[in-house]
Amino acid sequence: MAREFTRVGVVGLGTMGAGIVEVFARNGVDVVAVEVSDAALERGRANLTGSTDRAVARGKLAEADRDALLGRVTFAVGLDALHSVDLVIEAVPERLDIKQRLFADLDRVCKPEAILATNTSSLSVTEIAVATTRPDQVIGMHFFNPAPVMKLVEVVRTVVTSADVVADVEALCVRLGKVDVTITDRAGFIANALLFGYLNHAIGMFEARYATREDIDAAMKLGCGLPMGPLALLDLIGLDTAYEILDTMYRRGGRDRRHSPVPLLRQMVTAGLLGRKSGRGFYTYERAGSGKLVPDELTPTAPTSTDGARAVTTVGVVGSGTLAAGLVETFTAAGYQVVPVDPAGELPRLADVDLVVEATADDLDGTKALLAGLGEVCKPGVVLATTTSALPVIDLAMASGRPADVVGLHFANPATPLVEIVRTIRTSAEATATARAVVAALGRTGVVCADRAGFIVNALLFPYLNDAVRMLEADYSTTDDIDNAMKLGCGYPTGPFELLDTVGLDVALAVQRALYRELREPGLAPAPLLEQLVTADRPFRR
């Protein structure tokens, strides 16, 4: 039978620590909330009261319940106040030396049977545990921010953590209304191991000026249904925190370059550009601690986005499949005169159109031949757009004989409002502006990116999915727990394995192969398990 936790301690009352205090107190558990100084304690008290007051204002918490919640919390300076608690959770800065010293002190102060838990998101729980004389009673309880809202807790056991301790903490998570996933001690656990490789990749895109910060974030929100774009999320997490997590994962996780912090991240941290907490990160905020954006030197001005666009009234759509039919309907509904043609023999009908959109199968030789034919029959100045999701747009552009007129228009998914506008090194500013104007006229959101495998969405999404397959392949966790970790811990609409089965493993493998061929990054090589499942024609779930 699981032990009863009647009194717990929380050390460190920043945003996360105060949130953990609130979680316990909301669920009827008495809490001793500890900080290192009176000033820090008052800041922690303000964090807690501010959160509960906001919950009352939003109708999420009754005033009487708030008062009862706060009445369960005892604030104290110094660890000696924790002498009689049943469990302690620390939420101090993410530095191994700090946590080891703290656990050595907790080992001295706390009663012998007390469980000592760390909220670390990336450090080794084992290395923290060995600073005590009771490593079998040390465990990871990784809450997610904001702790009162996010349902996931990663329960991290070491090789010496007692089975009874694991069972007791799992039962406690249920009592707190949380969903736990129990895993072994590995860099990044589940959620951060998958999340931060993706975030790091997004920083690299921005650093390389592959796309603007706004377009990168819009692409992932609209193309994948994520609650926040990666750069906005990094500002929320804190760039210093992100750097520490990535650096720890890189050093502990086999030195995978995908987790090696992008140089721009270190530079921004050094410069004090830490995100919302400092008032400036990838974006600029009204003040330190605010989430309200204010314009800065990188903020785009809408009137210039379609300057120089060519007039378009007639659109030719080349293709006979589902995408082509959908585009005919979309352009017609937007008021364009549409000329649908079959690529086999009807190209001369496009002699007088203002824009051509090809929506044929992704076959390099066949599409190059098609673009060559369009280059011959279309009048000068016509923008030639390809909907390819996998082919290099520059190859198609050069085949056309008029590369300045060629642009990619990747309709990421018929159900989403996103269109990726792909410019090559030969695409003219007029062609890009025309594509922007047309996408806007369709009621879609256009994001502009350079011509690279995967564009924005697939280049960020599929390596994350591949990392999830590698995690499963290593027998670190199950498909259900990995999916739950990303949905409940990161707010993703679907888990990676649910998404893989929806997209199709063959499609995922093809995209991942294309990314690997272009970048030759070892971490982007398709997971062997993914290759095997495609060969065996097996999904992750039946």
Q: Which residues have a catalytic role annotated? A: 121, 142, 154, 192
The residue to which tokens 């888990």 are assigned: 495
- Give the list of residues 6+ apart from residue 247 with CB closer than 8 angstroms, or none: 261
Q: CA dist 319 to 313, 340, 398, Å? A: 20, 8, 21
- What b-and-e string marks burial along 517-532, b requiring 16 or more CB atoms within 10 Å of the CB? eeeeeebbebbebbbe
161: Cα separation from own chain's centroid: 31
- Give the list of residues 6+ apart from residue 117 with CB closer than 8 angstroms, or none: 87, 88, 89, 90, 138, 139, 140, 141, 169
Q: Would you list the DSSP string of 432-481?
A: HHHHHHHHHHTTPEEEEEES-TTTTHHHHHHHHHHHHHHHHHTTSS-HHH
3-class DSSP state of 182: strand
CB-CB contact of 324 with 317 (8 Å): yes
Looking at residue 301, its amino acid is T
3-class DSSP state of 484: helix
- The conformation of residue 522, written as its DSSP 8-state character, comes to G
Lateral strand order in the sheet of 314-318: 337-341, 314-318, 355-358, 383-386, 406-411, 418-423, 445-450
Looking at residue 451, its amino acid is D
Nearest to 529 by CA among 503, 502, 500: 500
Residue 540 structure tokens: 């992750």
Phi and psi (nearest 5°) for 19?
-65, -40
- Give the list of residues 6+ apart from residue 339 with CB closer than 8 angstroms, or none: 314, 315, 316, 317, 349, 350, 353
